[in-house]
Each structure stands twice: as structure tokens, then as C-alpha cells.
Amino acid sequence: MADKNWIGAFENAFPAEALQRDCPMAACTTLRLGGPADLLAEPATEEELLRMLALAGERSVPVTVIGRGSNLLVRDGGIRGLVIRIGRRMKGIETDGTSLTAMAGTTLTELAHHAAVSGLAGLAFASGIPGTVGGGVLMNAGAYGGEMCQVTSWAEGVRPDGSRFRYSRDELGFGYRHSRLQDEDGIVTRAGFTLREGDRAQIEAEMADLNARRSEKQPLQQPSAGSTFKRPEGYFAAALIDQCGLKGMRVGGAAVSEKHAGFLVNLGGTAADFEELMRRVRDIVEEKCGVCLEPEIRILGEA
């Protein structure tokens, strides 16, 4: 049971710009859905993050860690306890030859553009992924044949108990949209990337081409969490959903995109609408195709 005065304890311990009471999670996710978090905290350093975790532990406060919220559905009741967002206060990139080191709150778009300007190839695929370095490494984000595991050389951070880790690429145990960090609740604070020399103009042209293809095929103008379901082995989720005639299907203000069946979009609904639409899509695909779709997005909070 959390100490009733725990929020005051955080406000005494951390700068005002790092904290926000009753923060609407709709403002913290690309889906633009979700009720309030009791307290949102944004650390600027690993040490500050460790102090936040320690204080939460002392006060028996539940902790939820998020990044940019691009792969997240927060329910309408919001999130009780402390939400730690690794984002705008924990950014930065350093270059050393063909290697980059980035803080976890750096966006993948920022990382990809920094690499391109530096004449380093290998990250063009990430230029349109709307997540952060921390989240990208955690879930082995990917697009257009590229994945973070192809360029990540190491990652370091902390666990909820305050212990630190530093894992090499092999130790990270990468799989499809997965790493060992998900099993350990690891919180990435920094990661290193090994790239190769390339021509800036060619890299930027490749990025422009990939982003044009994204814009043509994906509903980028509507709030979404990207691909809602994982790719089932031997299939494509979007193709199965389309095959079942579900494009345009709606539950309240949530809909299956007319442009790309793999994207469920928010047209002004609630998190409950979105979750119910996910359930119906999953059930229909399983009934008609015999394939069980698994969510790619995280679902958090209270209904």
C-alpha cells in the first residue's frame, strides 16, 4: 500500500520540471488515449532514475516505465502510482568513428538523421519509427527489412531493484520484437550502435524513399500505435485482417484503417473502444483463418 504522502515526497526530492501530477496519458501516447497517471516523472540521468526507483520502493509505490508511448494503449482509468517516462530530459548522441552512443530518450528519427548527417549507413530503416532508442532496443523495433538488433552493439541501464546491467548484442537475446530486457523489466538508459561508412546523399535519399512509402501506405495522419498485432509465423497480420473484410470496421471511435489493415486508429473514441476493436478483430481472424493474432502494443492501466 503506497504512503498517502508519496507524491509530496517526490516533489520535495526532484525538480518541478521533472514531475507532473494527474498527467493525462492521452498526451503521452501516439494513440492519444488514456486516463491520468497519478504522477509522471521524467529523469534526466541514470542517477536520477535510480533515485526515483529507490524512493518509489521506499514508499511502496507501483512503477510503470514508458518511452514515447508509440507502442502503448493506456486504459481510460489511467495508471495508479508513478509513471517514469524516459524521454525529452534524457537525450543525446555521441559519435566515435563509425560508432554512435545514444541516450535512451533520443528518438529513433533523431538517431537515424544524426547517422545520415555523419555519413554513417545502417539506420535508414529507423528514420520513420516513432519510438525512442530505449524502446527500440527493448522491443527490437524494425521496419522495411531492418531491425535494431542489426546495428545495436550494446545496451546499458537499470532494473527496478536498482541493479545495473550492461549487455552486448549477443547477451541482449534479440528475437522478433523481443529482447531479454522485456523478461527482466530492464530500463535502457544508453545504447551503442555500430554502423558503416556511407554517402550522406545516398543515405538521405534512402530515408526519403522509405518515408514516402510509409506515407503512401500507412495512416500517418491519424492517431495510432503503429502495427497493432505481431506478425504471425508464416503470415502477415494486415493481410489476414484485410482477407476477413475488416478494413473500416469500427467500435465507437476506434477503427481498422482503410489505408492499412494492420493499423487500428483512433477517430475520437476511448481506450475501451480500441481494446474492444482489438478483441473483435482477433476473434474474427481466429474464427475465419485459424490464426491467433497477438498484440504488438502494450496495454496498461485501469479500465
Tens-digit pLDDT profile for residues 121-165: 999 999 999 999 999 999 999 999 999 999 999 999 999 999 999
Are both 41 and 105 inside the same structural domain?
A: no
Per-residue model confidence (pLDDT) at position 2: 65
Are both 188 and 97 inside the same structural domain?
A: yes
Q: 70: which residues sit within 8 A by CB, 6+ positions away?
A: 29, 30, 129, 130, 131, 135, 225, 226
Q: Give a yes or no: residue 210 inside a domain.
A: no
Q: Give a yes or no: residue 197 inside a domain.
A: yes
Residue 44 has pLDDT above 70, yes or no: yes
Q: How many CA atoms lie within 13 A of 212 on its CB side?
A: 6
- Give me the numbers of helices (H) and strands (E) for the chain, helices first please: 8, 19
CATH code, domain with 56? 3.30.43.10
Residue 43 has pLDDT above 70, yes or no: yes
Domain termination residue (choose one: 53, 85, 117): 85
Beta bridge partners of 72: 298
Task: Give the strands of the sheet with 36-41, arranged side by side.
Answer: 19-24, 36-41, 79-85, 63-66
Q: Give a yes or no: residue 298 inside a domain.
A: no
Separation CA 28–CA 233 (nearest Å): 32
| Cell numbers that stand for 296 in this block | 504488438
**Residue 258 pLDDT grade (very low, low, confident, very high; cuts 50, 70, 90):** very high
Per-residue model confidence (pLDDT) at position 1: 54
**pTM for this prediction:** 0.94
Per-residue model confidence (pLDDT) at position 72: 96
Q: Give a yes or no: residue 303 inside a domain.
A: no
Three-state secondary structure readout of 43-99: CCCHHHHHHHHHHHHHCCCCEEEECCCCCEEECCCEEEEEEEECCCCCCCEEEECCE
Q: Give a yes or no: residue 213 inside a domain.
A: no
Are both 144 and 101 inside the same structural domain?
A: yes
Domain termination residue (choose one: 85, 111, 134): 85
Are both 123 and 192 inside the same structural domain?
A: yes
Share of the chain above pLDDT 90, in %: 99
Separation CA 145–CA 125 (nearest Å): 8
Q: Give a yes or no: residue 28 inside a domain.
A: yes
Q: List the catalytic residues.
A: 177, 227, 296
Which amino acid is it at 171? E
- Tell me the pLDDT tens digit for each residue of 93-125: 999 999 999 999 999 999 999 999 999 999 999
DSSP structure class, residue 249: -
Strands 196-197 and 224-227: unpaired
Domain residues for the domain of 103 are 93-203
Angle at 161 between CA 158 and CA 167, to 5 degrees: 30
Residue 3 has pLDDT above 90, yes or no: no
DSSP structure class, residue 16: G
Long-range CB contacts (within 8 A, 24+) of 231-237: 231/176, 232/291, 232/292, 232/293, 232/294, 235/289, 235/291, 236/262, 237/261, 237/262, 237/293
**Residue 8 pLDDT grade (very low, low, confident, very high; cuts 50, 70, 90):** very high
Separation CA 20–CA 24 (nearest Å): 9
Are both 80 and 169 inside the same structural domain?
A: no
Q: Where are the alpha helices (DSSP H) in the chain?
A: 6-13, 46-58, 108-117, 133-138, 180-184, 200-217, 237-243, 271-289
Are both 230 and 283 inside the same structural domain?
A: yes
Are both 102 and 134 inside the same structural domain?
A: yes
Separation CA 156–CA 154 (nearest Å): 7
CATH code, domain with 195? 3.30.465.10
- Tell me the pLDDT tens digit for each residue of 188-241: 999 999 999 999 999 999 999 999 999 999 999 999 999 999 999 999 999 999
Are both 256 and 159 inside the same structural domain?
A: no
- Tell me the pLDDT tens digit for each residue of 52-89: 999 999 999 999 999 999 999 999 999 999 999 999 99
Are both 197 and 231 inside the same structural domain?
A: no
CATH code, domain with 283? 3.90.78.10
Domain count of the fold of the chain = 3
